[in-house]
Structure 1
Amino acid sequence: MPKDLYFIAIVPPQPIYNQLQELTEECAQKYKSYKALNSPPHITLYMPFHFESDMLSKLTDSLTNFAQNQKDFQISLDGFSTFSPRVIFVAIQENTSLSVLQKQLLDHLKEDLEISNKHFATQNFHPHITILFKDLKPEVFHQAWEELKDQKYEANFLTTSFCLLKHENGKWKLINTFHFK
C-alpha cells in the first residue's frame, strides 16, 4: 500500500498568517534560507508521519472526532528564539491549553490509529513558528540571530482548529481543517 507523508499543525488565522508568511519570505531572501517556505506558517502538533493513502478517510474521521472534544483557546506570539545553530523561530508564550491539546493528540493517534513516534513522544513539546531552518548556514545563522533577537513581534489569536497537511512535490499542502466544538 502506498503511504503518504502528513503532519498535524495549528495554522494561524489572517492577518497573522500573512504577517508570518511575509516575515518568512523576507528572511528567506535576506539570509538565502528557503526551506521554511515549503510549508505555511504553523505550530506543529504532530511531526511528519507516513499513513496509507487509501486510508485517509479513517485518519480524517478520527481527527474530526478528536477536534469535536476540544475547546477554543488563545495563543500569544512573543518575539524570536532559536534552536542553535540552524533554526530561528517566532516564540510562543507558555500555554497550558496548547500543551494539553498536543499531549491528547499524541495519545489519541496512538490509541485510535496506532500512529506513534517514540522519539517525538519523549521530547518536550516546544511550540514555535519556524521562519528559518535546515538550509540556514551556521555562519549566516549568527548574523540573522544578531539582527532578529531584539526585534519585537507580538500577536495573539484564538485557536479554533488544527490542520492536516500533506507532503506533495516537495511542499506541504493544507488538505483539511478540523474545527473545535
Structure 2
Amino acid sequence: MAFSKALYFAAIVPSSEVKEKVKKIKLEIKEQFEAAHPLKLPAHITLLPPVPLAEEQEKAFLGTLKELSGKQPAFPVKLRGFGHFKQRTLFINVEDHGPFQRLHENLLQKATNFLPPKLSENLHPHVTLATRDLDYKKFPKVWQAFKNRDFSAEFKAEALTLFKHNGKTWDILENFAFSGRE
C-alpha cells in the first residue's frame, strides 16, 4: 500500500504592509527582467524548506507546530537592503538572524520525526525577490539595479505559517500564532 505524500514548508509571513512593498518590487523585477516565479507566493521568510510528508502525518505535524508556536514569543523583524546567492537568487536581507535561527533549531528538534534525516541545519533568513526563472545572463543587470538601492521595512513576527502544495501552487494551510512570553 503506497502512502500519498504532499509537500509542506513553514515560514514567517510579514505584515500586509510589508507584503505589499515586496510585491511591488517583485512586479518591477517581472516587468524589467522577466522573472516572475516569486510572485507565486506572498513575501515570506522560510524557516523549514519544503518537506514531503505522508498525508496521514499531517494532523500530528500540525499538532507539533501548534505546540512549538504556543511557546514562541513574537519578535521584531527588520529588513534592510538587498543580497544574492550566486547569480541565481536576489533577496531582501533580514538584519538579525538570531531569532530565526533559534526558531529553526526548535523546529528541527520538535519536528524531527517528520523531517528527512539530511535536512540542512543551515539557515540564511531572507525574502526572495527573484529566483528559478531569473536568467543568469540577466543577473548582473538585476544586481546592478538593486545592490545600492535603499530598502527598509519592519514588522513583528507573530505567527508561523504552514504552506501545503496542492499539486500546482502553494496554499496557506494554517497560521500558528506565537503566544509565548517575551
Q: Please classify the TM superposition score into its range, dividing by the shorter chain length.
A: over 0.9
Shift of 1:146: 0.2
Partner of residue 102, structure 1: 104
After superposition, the C-alpha distances for 1:26-81 in whole angstroms (9 at most, x for unaligned) are: 21222111211222211000000011123321111111011001001101000100
Percent identical pairs in the alignment equals 27
TM-score by length of 1: 0.92
Q: Give the Cα separation in 2 of the matches to 1:84 and 1:117.
A: 26
Shift of 1:169: 4.0
Q: Give the Cα separation in 1 of the matches to 2:57 and 2:69.
A: 19
Structure 2 residue matching 1:45: 3-state secondary structure: strand
Structure 1 residue matching 2:53: 3-state secondary structure: strand
- Cα distance change on mapping 1:57 and 1:114 into 2, 3 Å: closer
TM-score by length of 2: 0.92
**Structure 2: any 5+ residue segments left out of the alignment?**
none
Structure 1 residue matching 2:15: 3-state secondary structure: coil
Runs of 4+ in 1 over 3 A off after TM superposition: none
Mapping for residues 87-166 of structure 1, pairs under 5 Å: 87-110=89-112, 113-121=113-121, 124-166=122-164
Structure 2 residue matching 1:103: 3-state secondary structure: helix
Contact persistence 2:97–2:124 (CA under 8 A): no
After superposition, the C-alpha distances for 1:112-152 in whole angstroms (9 at most, x for unaligned) are: x341341422xx31100000001111111110100011111
After superposition, the C-alpha distances for 1:71-92 in whole angstroms (9 at most, x for unaligned) are: 0110100010000211000001
How large is the RMSD of aligned CA atoms in angstroms?
A: 1.3
Contact persistence 2:33–2:142 (CA under 8 A): yes
Q: Give the Cα separation in 2 of the matches to 1:87 and 1:117.
A: 26
**Structure 1: any 5+ residue segments left out of the alignment?**
none
Partner of residue 14, structure 1: 16
